[in-house]
Amino acid sequence: MSLPIAPKPALRRFHQASWDEPVIFELTTPGERGVLVSRAEPGVREAVGDVVADLPTGMRREKKAALPEMGQMRVLRHYLRLSQENLGADFNIDVGQGTCTMKYAPKVNESIISTPKLTDLHPLQDQGDVQGILEIIWSLERAVAEISGMHSVSLHTSGGSTAIWTNIAMIRAYHEANGDGQQRDEVITTIFSHPSNAATAKAAGYKVITLYPDADGYPDAEALKAVIGPRTAAIMITNPEDTGIFNPRVQEWVELAHSVGALASYDQANANGILGITRARDAGFDVCHFNLHKTFGTPHGCGGPGSGANAVSEELAPFLPGPVIVRDGDRFFLDSDRPQSIGKVAPFYGVAPNLVRAYSWIMALGAEGIKAVAETAVLNNNYLMKKILEIPGASAPYAAGRRRIEQVRYSWQELYEETGISSEEIGIRASDFGMHYWTSHHPYVVPQPFTLEPTESYSMAELDEYAAVLAEVAREARETPEVVRTAPHNQTVHHTHHDDLDDPERWAITWRAYQRKYFS
């Protein structure tokens, strides 16, 4: 064949890298070294003697740790191959991880943070030596306060769920300070709020009441009225919920909470579609949190470190984790003198690299840009919804005919009834086209769920491509179901058997446990 090159087929012929890479322990070669360590100088040795031989009885490790022994480039090559066997958000049209806001994490921010001026700062250095980072954190706090309408902000936590924990820990301290900590032993949440609202409240000692939506999928204010009362410590809710439906009566929910002396806590994991549109404090919320790794463009790092921002009203400000950063003219200080604070929620002052990235993200966009983020995310979502609903067998339960905010929880129930192919199977097959999607948290209230959140980052053409892949897999489910059922076909590994993972006799959580259980 000669030029011209034939046109590409409608769908990408993708194949994930597959190096068939062994587990690292199989790569060991005794005697090889990956990196050498600075050794004590002769003068030190002369002064201290043989510190290892002199260890107290029983304190000297008898056998060296059975770590692999590998030359440096071999370690590098092994891990780079593993990296190629991983589908980062920079590579795929990552609109399939609904609730997680997989937006572009700008490369310039990686370049900005890669400096010893940040990597090599110690948190207890002379505060005069860390004015730059303190100013950035302080400025980011102020920006989050403005975006939420709240009074004060803490950026200490390293994930969304620990930020939710911080919300409930502050609420607990607030009620205790008011003398009704004992009486208020219940927290109310909704089934389409992130499960960590329920789970952190339980961990803090509360009984959890979970409300289901009304028939149309809207949070049910009547259900709230039936359970709220003097035992309620807080409502802890997401809005829009994980269905992408905004609760139009949210202010009434907050007022109901306040009418019984409870607080209102807002999980803003789904804030991406409402930035600059509506604010937590304007609806009356007392506390809220954002996930900087979702809404503010810091990378997700295979599951962290993320970054949580806790924002509170003036009344709750004394309970924030300490220390807080205060500004005095041009200088920034750490203030630890806060008697009502819940104390530490994490070491030091938060995930500094993410705080700088988030600040940089805000400063690249400004007020106009941030509102454009929300509007574009919502436009993309409603555009993608139209495309998805054109696929036979796909549906978007609830709120029929209404617009959604930034994501939609769809259902393949119709396709499942017709073909027996589940949402999980469709998601795995979609990965053969270089796509990823996620079903839903449990329990599956929406049957055969999949949750798509296109964010502001993907172009119209990319959204078209994503929808075309799902349409193709739905077609396969009808016409060649075995292809879907036996997927993946173009991945690093093939269909994986999960039976061993739930049996204590058979599970292998580490290489050494695997060796012991199966080869000794």
Partner 1 sequence: MTQPFVHPYLPNTAPDVKAAMLAAVGAASTDEFYADVPEALRLDRPLDLPEPFVAEQDLVRHVSGLLGRNVPTGERLSFLGAGTYNHYVPAVVDEVINRSEFLTAYAGEPYEDHGRFQALFQYQSLMAELLNMDVVNVPTYDGFQATATSLSMAGRMSGRRGVIVASDVLPDKMSRVTDFVRTNLDLTAVPTVNGTADVAAVTALLTEDTAAVWVETPSYTGAVETAIRQLADAAHAVGAVLVVGTDPVGYGVLTPPADQGADIVCGDIQSLGLHQWFGGAHAGFIAVHDDPRFVMEMPSRLFGLATTDVPGEVGFGDVAYDRTSFAHREEGKEWVGTAAALWGIAAGVYLALMGPQGMADLGETLLARTRYTQLKLSGIPGVALTDNALHLREFVVDFSEASVTAHAVVDTLRAQGIEPGVAVGEYELLVAVTEMNTQADIDRLADAVASVVAANTKTEEKSA
Site for partner 1 in 350-369 (CB under 8 A): 350-356, 359-360, 362-369
Give the residue among 514, 476, 327, 435 at the shortest CA–CA distance from 92.
435
Residues 408-447 that bind partner 1 (CB under 8 A): 427-428, 431, 436, 438, 441-442
Say whether residue 181 binds partner 1 (CB under 8 A): no
Helix (H, G, I), strand (E, B), or coil: what is residue 517? helix
Q: Is the peptide bond before 240 cis (omega within 30 degrees of 0)?
A: yes
Say whether residue 33 binds partner 1 (CB under 8 A): yes
Residue 59 tokens read as 């304190």
Say whether residue 120 binds partner 1 (CB under 8 A): yes
Nearest approach, Cβ of 38 to partner 1 (angstroms)?
5
Give the residue among 312, 351, 464 at the shortest CA–CA distance from 113.
351
Say whether residue 289 binds partner 1 (CB under 8 A): no
Residues 138-157 that bind partner 1 (CB under 8 A): 139, 143, 146-147, 157
Candidates 167, 190, 232, 380: give the one binding partner 1 (CB under 8 A): 380
Candidates 11, 32, 180, 261: give the one binding partner 1 (CB under 8 A): 32
Is residue 312 within 8 A of residue 170, CB to CB? The reply is yes
Candidates 13, 60, 225, 331: give the one binding partner 1 (CB under 8 A): 60
Beta-bridge partners for 202: none
Residue nearer to partner 1 on the CB measure, 222 or 505? 505
Say whether residue 247 binds partner 1 (CB under 8 A): yes
Helix (H), strand (E) at residue 3: none
Say whether residue 161 binds partner 1 (CB under 8 A): yes
Say whether residue 448 binds partner 1 (CB under 8 A): no
Residues 69-108 that bind partner 1 (CB under 8 A): 69-70, 72, 75-76, 78-92, 94, 97, 100, 102-106, 108
Nearest approach, Cβ of 353 to partner 1 (angstroms)?
6
Residue nearer to partner 1 on the CB measure, 4 or 303? 303
Say whether residue 246 binds partner 1 (CB under 8 A): yes
Q: Is 444 exposed, middle or buried (0-12, 13-18, 19+ CB in 10 A)?
A: middle
Residue nearer to partner 1 on the CB measure, 258 or 418? 258
Work out whether strand 263-267 and strand 232-238 pair parallel, antiparallel, or are unpaired.
Answer: parallel
Q: How far from 213 is each of 47, 244, 247, 260, CA to CA, in Å? A: 72, 13, 10, 22
Residue nearer to partner 1 on the CB measure, 38 or 259? 38
Is residue 95 within 8 A of residue 452, CB to CB? The reply is yes
Candidates 174, 349, 450, 466: give the one binding partner 1 (CB under 8 A): 349
The CB density around residue 291, as the number of other CB atoms within 10 Å, is: 29
Position 24, amino acid: I
- 133 phi/psi in degrees, rounded to 5: -70, -35
Instruction: Kindly state the number of chain residues that form the binding site for partner 1, as judged by CB under 8 A.
Output: 216
